[in-house]
Structure 1
């Protein structure tokens, strides 16, 4: 089974939206994007995420930040890597404005302010690292990560960080298997209230 890694294009937005939504829900009934877009249901939320992916404002969800894993011509996994000094909270809010969703600002900012780790802008962030069900444990995420780290090294980065929900034991174990180490935890009452999870774990990988 040969895994091909490619840079995402705007035409990949339906698949990327699926991976982003899957990642944000993290085995819950709903996640951050369900809140931001006002519980539009799967089809409405996916359509809104697609608009973010293709927005002119280069936010963290923009397709240019993604690598996609492909097996036999089928997209099977994704990895977003972005620089927090470029893909800022403000750029995300600007992208929401661009696609006509300013109503989602308030709840996003409330959660962001309560649960923010104040990431070092000299590190790279990994997000939306996901694979399709049926393709797990075949090396997709490891291949995506290795390719992304090669690019990161050329840009001068030596540390990559990621966040996992407290209580997502299987995901946390997998990240640790990839070489990530736990840096700190942050419990947030609003996160528990909205998602039923205590908060977030910050992980780091040095390379």
Structure 2
């Protein structure tokens, strides 16, 4: 398999939208973005596509992602970001641009300046950690070691930037993902259960994993 790993570009927005939505579903059927937006899948993808190309960078901006591609196009990807400069506050700042382009109003919590209820179970960033997010692969290319190569690349980027730890969050109960990350040195730090998360997502909550770089 002729595989190339590269930085994502703005033209990758459709693939990145799929990547973010799919990563948000993980091993459950209804993901966090579908809960937050409460929209059909195509509308969620349209929202996320615009989110990846906002003027200001944030954790879901294309500049935070690396992509694995074959001759036919992108097949896998993941993101890595500095939570202090590209974290959730920057994401919130970028949302009006997206809603403006869609001609929609923000959901009730965002309009009031509050985070969506479902995000209460998202673990905070470990101070000083390089954060990895949104890992997904097209089904036909799974179990070929592509995510391993992407993880090696994104962890090396964190090392070159001077980080001493990396962090990734998963849904509680996603044992295959946890085992895959443990192969790269990650270990369970803590869990963030939430009954509301269980009701809406079908997972008890989220777990925070860290590794030394």
TM (norm. structure 2) is 0.89
Q: What SS does the corresponding residue of 2:86 show, helix, strand or coil?
A: coil
Structure 1 residue 154 and structure 2 residue 167: aligned?
A: no
Q: What SS does the corresponding residue of 1:86 show, helix, strand or coil?
A: helix
Q: What SS does the corresponding residue of 1:64 show, helix, strand or coil?
A: helix
Please say which of residues 194-203 and 89-98 is displaced more in the overlay: 89-98
Structure 1 residue 63 and structure 2 residue 62: aligned?
A: yes
Query: Which among 114, 118, 136 is matched to residue 111 of structure 1?
Result: 118
For 2:28 and 2:154, how far apart are their aligned partners in 1? 28
For 2:33 and 2:148, how far apart are their aligned partners in 1? 26
Q: What SS does the corresponding residue of 1:60 show, helix, strand or coil?
A: coil
Q: What SS does the corresponding residue of 1:178 show, helix, strand or coil?
A: coil
Confirm or deny: 8 A CA contact 2:170 2:177 kept in the other structure.
yes
Q: What SS does the corresponding residue of 1:134 show, helix, strand or coil?
A: helix
The alpha carbon displacement at 1:8 in A equals: 0.4
Structure 1 residue 124 and structure 2 residue 123: aligned?
A: no
For 1:73 and 1:31, how far apart are their aligned partners in 2? 27
The alpha carbon displacement at 1:88 in A equals: 2.4
For 2:185 and 2:2, how far apart are their aligned partners in 1? 23
Corresponding residue number in structure 1 for 2:88 = 89
Gaps of 5+ in 2: 100-104
Which consecutive segments of 4 or more residues in structure 1 shift more than 4 A? Answer: none
The alpha carbon displacement at 1:26 in A equals: 1.3
The alpha carbon displacement at 1:108 in A equals: 4.1
Aligned length: 205
Confirm or deny: 8 A CA contact 1:124 1:152 kept in the other structure.
yes
For 1:169 and 1:120, how far apart are their aligned partners in 2? 22
Corresponding residue number in structure 1 for 2:196 = 190
For 2:77 and 2:115, how far apart are their aligned partners in 1? 23
The alpha carbon displacement at 1:73 in A equals: 4.3
Gaps of 5+ in 1: none
Per-residue Cα deviation, 1:153-172 (whole angstroms, up to 9, x for no partner): 12101211001111112222
The alpha carbon displacement at 1:65 in A equals: 0.2
For 2:61 and 2:93, how far apart are their aligned partners in 1? 12
Corresponding residue number in structure 2 for 1:74 = 73
Please say which of residues 76-85 and 136-145 is displaced more in the overlay: 136-145
Corresponding residue number in structure 2 for 1:15 = 15
Corresponding residue number in structure 2 for 1:31 = 31
Q: What SS does the corresponding residue of 2:79 show, helix, strand or coil?
A: strand
